[in-house]
Amino acid sequence: MKMRAEMNQVAFGRRLFDIRREQQITSERLSELCGVNSSFIRSIENAVRLPSLPMFVMICNQLHVAPNFFLLDSITWNEEDKNLYSQ
């Protein structure tokens, strides 16, 4: 069985934008906290780029959000998968 891994960039970016705004953090401030350029954060929010895994962890830590919050639209399970991993 061949699995494809794709991330829903649009949903990821929208969640980042929403949680950042909810916490009243500017893209400039988040970029400072993460050590990147603010245009990088905006490009993630606009679904142009995806963060690397270390940057993803940094964003989660800085916003105090669990990784699954960002991945809700990207993780799919079929019945066969559920049976394999539920044992």
What does the domain layout of the chain look like in residue ranges? 9-85
pTM for this prediction: 0.79
C-alpha distance from residue 2 to each of 39, 50, 78, 81 (Å): 36, 23, 13, 12
pLDDT tens-digit readout, 7-23: 789 999 999 999 999 99
Residue pair 51/80 in contact (Cβ under 8 Å)? The answer is no
pLDDT greater than 60 at residue 84: no
- Give the pLDDT band of residue 80 (cuts 50, 70, 90): low
> Whole-angstrom Cα distance, residue 48 to residue 65?
22
CA 69 to mean position of chain CA atoms: 8
- Give the pLDDT band of residue 86 (cuts 50, 70, 90): low
> Whole-angstrom Cα distance, residue 65 to residue 15?
11
CATH 1.10.260.40 correct for 9-85? yes
pLDDT tens-digit readout, 25-74: 999 999 999 999 999 999 999 999 999 999 999 999 999 999 989 888 77
